[in-house]
Chains A and B, each alone.
Chain A
Amino acid sequence: MPQPRVLILRAPGTNCDRESAFAFEQAGARADYAHIQRLLDTPALMREYQILCIPGGFSYGDDIAAGRILANQIRHHLRAEFAAFKDAGKLMLGICNGFQVLIKSGMLLPDAADGGLAATLTLNDSGKFEARWVKLSAAGDKCVFLRGIEKMYLPVAHAEGKFVPRDDATLNSLAASGQVVLRYARLDGTAGEVPYPDCPNGAVGAIAGVCDDTGRVFGLMPHPERFIDPTHHPRWTRELPPEFGDGWRIFTNAVEYFA
């Protein structure tokens, strides 16, 4: 199997770069880091890679709004290179802050006609940063990263993870095109409205992750790289832990896509 190359994008305040690279490497990819400054100097650097990962963290401190400043740098300087990357059939993954960046850069969902965002990620209803484990249900037919995944149990750790679409029409069209691929689920396993804290941030439709219309660009608030080892599970001392964590499949799916 050819070994796909992953570019882990770093910016001031990115802080999940190491463990995201580790997860990709464990899954069989080869990961390199690039600081945004380097990418701005040499956008063509991206062409050497098959997967772009924007990891979690606080790019530019989440100042103004989470992901906004890095997203604007992409809008202002890297739009064409990102578009070419997508058009070349490659993969992009945004985790937590990376999801915030992807959605605010317009790279995940195209901007509305008036130039506004199609959807955003904003301050949790609780008004604060929270770290907790959540259950997720995936509808991953469309999304490359979620193939074969129905349910996951992963940690979230964010202050601005509330998914809000621009309007009902946008939400309906995302749902209709199968792009709403990950939702928070009730911890007790029952169906219906997902209350806090099972849905940790008040996201509309309990949406935890969406993909673009190709299924190759994916952003999610939970952290799959934080559950690749059995001892990552919060109850591994009680329950028989799986050999691989639930987040593991997301990385192997990406690698296997290039097999």
Chain B
Amino acid sequence: MTLWEVDIHPAVGQPDLIAQHVAAQASDVGLPRDFRLQAARGYLIQGDLDEAQVRRVASELLADSVVERYVFAPAGHPTLAATVEYPGQLIHVLPKPGVTDPVAASTLAAINDFGFHPTAVCTLTKYWVDGLTDAQLAQLAKRILANDSIEQVVIGPLKLERIDVGAPYAFELRQVPLRQLDDDALVQLSREWQLSLTLVEMQTIQRHFRDQRRDPTDAELETIAQTWSEHCSHKTLAGQIRYRDERRAIHFGNMLKETIFAATQTIRKQLGENDWCVSVFKDNAGIVKFDDAFHVCFKVETHNRPSAIEPYGGANTGVGGVIRDTLGTGLGAKPVCNTDVFCFAPPETPADRIPPGVLHPRRVLRGVVAGVRDYGNRMGIPTVNGAIYFDERYIGNPLVFCGNVGLIPVDKAFKQVQPGDLIVALGGRTGRDGIHGATFSSAELTHESEKVSGGAVQIGNAITEKMCMDVLLAARDRGLYNAVTDCGAGGFSSAVGEMGEELGAEVWLDRAPLKYAGLSYTEIWISEAQERMVLAVPREKWDELHSLCASEGVEAVVIGEFQPTGRLVLKYQDHEVANVAMEFLHAGRPRVVREAVYAPPAVAPLAIPHIADYGDVLLQLLGELNIASKEWVIRQYDHEVQGGSVIKPLVGIANDGPSDAAVLRPVLNSRRGLVIACGMNPRYGALDTYHMAASAIDEAVRNCVAVGANPRRIAILDNFCWGYTDRPETLGSLVRAALGCQDTAVAFGTPFISGKDSLNNEFSYFDPDNNRRTISIPATLLISAMGQVKDVSKCITMDLKSAGNKLYIVGLTKDELGGSHLAKILNLSGGRVPQVDVDLASGVFDSLHRAIKQGHVRSCHDLSEGGLAVALAEMAFAGGCGATIETGRVPYELSSSSLTDRFNAILFSESNSRFICEVAPEHVAPFESTLSEVPFAPIGEVTATDRVEILSADRAVINLDLATLKEAWQKPLRW
């Protein structure tokens, strides 16, 4: 047996793109730019291959004969180190043993196709670095070349002899002597095992097993911890909460049920027989009606903790996970589009201001975008909508929201496990990856997390999931199973536990296919290895399912049976390793009452200093990172695959303006469209989370309405990301937001259909003076919206279309600069937070929708971050048209009598429920009469110039050309 290494170098005259990519990032971490770097990709191939065979593999498979050259030798051989122009120091980066290496798996199979049979393959990247000190080299390796949580760095020649992983496993039943432990020991056990269980929960488990007169096995304890984890059970928000604020005191039995779900129930009741919800808050995703043949479902998940530690893998598996939610909804939905929203610290944060244990936000951003890109694009699912929000407080806890929309035939929306159904594991194999992801994601991050939580970080393999999806949807259409769910957090433990909740299940853990030998029964049970689905398959369908899977190379294995015993029984070979009552698992968790208080802060005045140059302020706003163009990100996503793209994320004369929402036709032979948008305003949370929530819903809905969606057919989702909710004030601010969600959703008739929360997003570290510091994220509520249009040809975009058209503002502008981006760039606090006048808003949405549907509106853009001035500038440069408006005509409700205050508010207030519309002269009369019941006013017109002119009492206060405006908007994130 030989361990061969094949290195692939760029051929002479070809660019070294890996080295270029690294060099571009070197300055991010403060390294000099002038060091020399060369790179090569490498493959380690272990097995009985002779030199001629390796040469064939190198020349015909691994290297491209036109643009690459190869070198090969037994690993560690000097020729592998000395084949470059400037030798310098040699660094190898390779995945740690057991980390998913999709390219290696494909390469192994592709070598087999030659008729050669290596036993293992591993990929690596090599760098030759010249001109850095040892300290700089270490910095380069740690900060750019490798991520310690998944990769190992070898400086100098490789001294490896073998690369296969795994060792034989000898069964040994592990009992946990729980009954005799005192409280301190219980707490310690929970911590050491990363169970994230509280003392009361540990005591409840102890009591349960004392009643049984036995100790639990490790598998039982782990199963309970997974099932009771915040991630899987939402015990905080779905729990009892005693809430009080300045006006009321509410005792919730189940907070989410009594606010968010209750809103949906109220709306469904009001709709009566016109109810268009199908399945809400029950399944992996919420389902609503689409047309006669299909329903649509939508789910948005967060993958924050893993993305903080390994941005690429975290985001990658975040996308993979939410796609499996859709696949596991009803009897399986076909994913039709992705959404992705991120929150990061500002990328320009100086390297010396990064707390220990934290990755630089620039690296996090690059990694997250690449992770989303590589998974979504490979799955063939268009990524159509998103947002990126920057705030210093996301430094230790970046947020990564991944959403997926699915299309499901109307007769496949529900599932029901039957007694005797086989439990079938489909897709990827089980490895040691991701152990404790569910409990880890429920805990606070610390600077140590990087070290202790590595097992919870994974790399996805999109093609495994794509293959799994292809056979799953084919099996669905042939009726080969009764139920399906995904293996997410908690792995088999959660999937089987959930599916068997009503019935009972017996699982044969030794049957699960493994990536490598050596996993204990508990590791198999709780592994969160990616790309796995669990099906309930009637015995008589098993053969057909199995051969369907085999025909596309997908592994499907029977790992147990659903049995009407009410118990969860786990076996390894002939040994029973767990036997717990489903009742205890799902209903045995102790109910705690949490305190939540909210005291609205007094409204402090927002004192805006004299603004000498309004044009300069507008340019600053356009370059503010939350407003600036995200084109660098968007272009890396395939937003047109599946062939149904109607309104793209970038629109306008040069295909680069910011669309309010995406529209697609999920059914290619139909004109019916889906509209996807989102809303989020973390800056309002410090002022009042109720209004923050209301504003986020308003923003998501108005984005949909702006492109033509019917406001009476918009479903919404909530994702709460909050700080440490054991603090009553923090939980209070969340409950307050949930109340805002409830009231606004009911008033708008926009039902919540699904949601998810991620709590305890705080980061603790010790500063140089050894003081413990904690950074909490701002209260962050993402509202995602899914609207519908009957005929996509009625949709419109935000770019101005032609000179001579009239410009209107619709809605009412108020004194609401609190939390605004004007306040942000001027570094001011205070002010009134934007509120939503729900009656006014509903009227605006309905009237505007009618006007758009009747074809009276040429372009429409919502007013959001940066207010009227930013919206107008965006419409102008997106359309390549000039515009002139007179601010005096804008309808307002302003308390201040100061003309300057009024002017500032009109230009920059972020008041909700407002739009700018472009209307052709011949449509002016019908447009105005359609809007007669809501505030609106003509404010100017589209001009044949290349300038945006904003006048106050006929005097131009802003007069800038389109190129300057666009450049200010595009430059900051043009990486």
A binds B: yes
Using an 8 Å CB-CB cutoff, how does the interface string of B499-512 with A read, 1 for contact, 0 for none?
Answer: 00000000000000
A130 to B633, CA, bound (A): 9
Residue of A nearest to B707 (CB): A237
A150 to B359 Cα, complex, angstroms? 51
Contact residues in B for A56 (Cβ distance below 8 Å):
641
* In the complex, chain A residues whose CB is within 8 Å of the CB of B653: 235, 238
Q: Is the CB of A226 within 8 A of B640?
A: yes
Q: Are B642 and A18 touching (Cβ within 8 A)?
A: yes
Known A18-B642, A234-B655, A237-B797: A61·B553 in contact at CB below 8 Å: no
Total A-B pairs in contact (CB under 8 Å)? 174
Q: Are A18 and B668 in contact (CB under 8 A)?
A: yes
Return the CB mask of B210-223 against A: 1 if under 8 Å, else 0: 00000000000000
Given A13-B463, A129-B377, A234-B655, A72 and B642 contact (CB-CB distance below 8 Å): no
Q: Which residue of B lies closest to A75 (CB)?
A: B60
Residues on B with C-beta less than 8 A from A120 are: 64-67
CB neighbours of B646 from chain A (8 A): 231-232
Is the pair B466, A12 in contact by a Cβ cutoff of 8 Å?
Answer: yes
Interface size on A, residues (CB 8 A): 58
In the assembled complex, which residues on chain A have CB atoms less than 8 Å from the CB atom of B665? 231
Are the C-beta atoms of A133 and B643 separated by less than 8 Å? Answer: no
In the complex, which residues of chain B have a beta carbon less than 8 angstroms from the beta carbon of A140? none
Contacts A155-B640, A235-B655: A127 and B17 contacting too (C-beta < 8 A)? yes
Contact of B640 among A35, A117, A128, A223 (CB under 8 A): A223
Let me know if A19 and B651 touch, CB within 8 A. no
Pick from B443-451, B517-525, B557-565, B788-796 the stretch touching chain A: B788-796
Contact among A19, A129, A132 with B643 in the assembled complex (CB-CB below 8 Å): A19
User: CA separation between A73 and B668, bound complex, in Å?
Assistant: 32
Interface centre among A58, A131, A234, by most chain B C-beta atoms within 10 angstroms, is: A131
Say yes or no for B110: interface residue by CB 8 A criterion: yes
Q: Report the bound CA distance from A165 to B64 in whole Å.
A: 12
Closest residue on chain B to residue A232 by CB atoms = B645
Name the contact of B648 in the complex, choosing from A122, A164, A166, A234 (C-beta under 8 A): A234
> Once the chains bind, are A12 and B467 in contact (CB under 8 Å)?
yes
User: How near does chain B come to A185, taking the closest CB pair, in angstroms?
Assistant: 16
A interface SS class: mixed
Pick from A15, A127, A164: contact of B641, CB below 8 A: A15
Q: Which residues of A contact B64 (CB under 8 A)?
A: 65, 68, 117, 120, 122
CB of B645 within 8 A of CB of A64, answer no
- Does B113 contact A76, Cβ atoms closer than 8 Å? yes
What's the Cα separation between A225 and B643 when bound, in Å?
Answer: 7
Measured in the bound complex, the distance between the Cα atoms of B717 and A104 in whole Å is 45
From A14, A15, A18, A23, residue with most partner B Cβ within 10 Å? A15
Does the CB pair A58–B463 fall under 8 Å? yes
Q: Is the CB of B635 within 8 A of A131?
A: yes
Q: Which A residues from 191 to 214 make CB contacts under 8 A with B?
A: none
A22 and B66 contacting across the interface, CB-CB below 8 Å = no
Known: A15-B641, A237-B797. A58 touches B377 (CB 8 A): yes
Q: Is the pair B466, A131 in contact by a Cβ cutoff of 8 Å?
A: no
Q: A126 to B795, alpha carbons, bound, how many Å? A: 34
Q: Which residues of chain B are within 8 angstroms of A68 by Cβ–Cβ distance? A: 61, 64, 110
Q: Which 4 residue pairs are nearest across A and B when measured between Cβ atoms?
A: A15-B380, A19-B643, A116-B65, A63-B106
Chain B positions within 8 Å of A, measured between CB atoms, are 15, 17, 20-21, 59-62, 64-67, 102-103, 105-107, 109-110, 113-114, 373, 377-380, 461-463, 466-467, 470, 551-553, 635-648, 650-653, 655, 665, 668-669, 792-793, 795-797, 799, 801, 859, 879
Contacts A129-B373, A165-B66 supplied; 18 other A-B pairs, CB < 8 Å: A14-B380, A15-B642, A18-B668, A56-B641, A58-B378, A60-B106, A63-B106, A64-B103, A69-B109, A120-B65, A127-B17, A131-B635, A157-B640, A226-B643, A231-B792, A235-B655, A237-B799, A238-B879
Give 19 pairs: A residue, B residue, CB < 8 Å, sorted on A.
Answer: A15-B378, A15-B466, A15-B641, A37-B553, A58-B378, A61-B102, A63-B102, A64-B62, A64-B106, A72-B110, A76-B114, A120-B64, A122-B64, A130-B635, A130-B636, A157-B641, A164-B66, A164-B67, A234-B651
